[in-house]
Amino acid sequence: MKKTGKKIVTVQEAFEVWFEEYVDVNTRTNTQKSYRGMIEKHIFPRLGNMEMKKLNARILQKFINEKSKILKRSSLSKLLAIMRSCFSYAVNCNCFFSGNGCGRGLCASP
């Protein structure tokens, strides 16, 4: 997808880059499997097709609130940690978006 010469990056594409460049290199196999499961089960179905530049704290908070109704606290904390890590990576390397508050700890568990 192209728009004004720039590629539109989805949440799923950003997570795949983060996974390949960070998770695969810096974590153990069991952690990778655990992260992959959480991402594919919870993040991709709801947020995967969304453009990174359209993601904001309000959308993420709504997502977390929805997940808090079905996940145990420990699983919700793990999901938050995965999301924060990916979004922080994207912001810090200026990969996909900046300035919209994502990845800076704005999402809180209810």
Query: pTM, whole model, 2 decimals?
Result: 0.79
Q: Is 88 exposed, middle or buried (0-12, 13-18, 19+ CB in 10 A)?
A: middle
* Reported confidence tier of residue 91, pLDDT bands at 50, 70, 90: confident
pLDDT at 53: 87
Average pLDDT along the chain:
84
Q: What is the 3-state secondary structure (H, E, C) of the chain?
A: CEECCEECCEHHHHHHHHHHHHHHHHCCHHHHHHHHHHHHHHHHHHHCCCEHHHCCHHHHHHHHHHHHCCCCHHHHHHHHHHHHHHHHHHHHCCCCCCCCCCCCCCCCCC
Find the mean pLDDT for residues 17-35. Answer: 96
The average pLDDT across 24-48 equals 97
pLDDT beyond 90 at 9: no
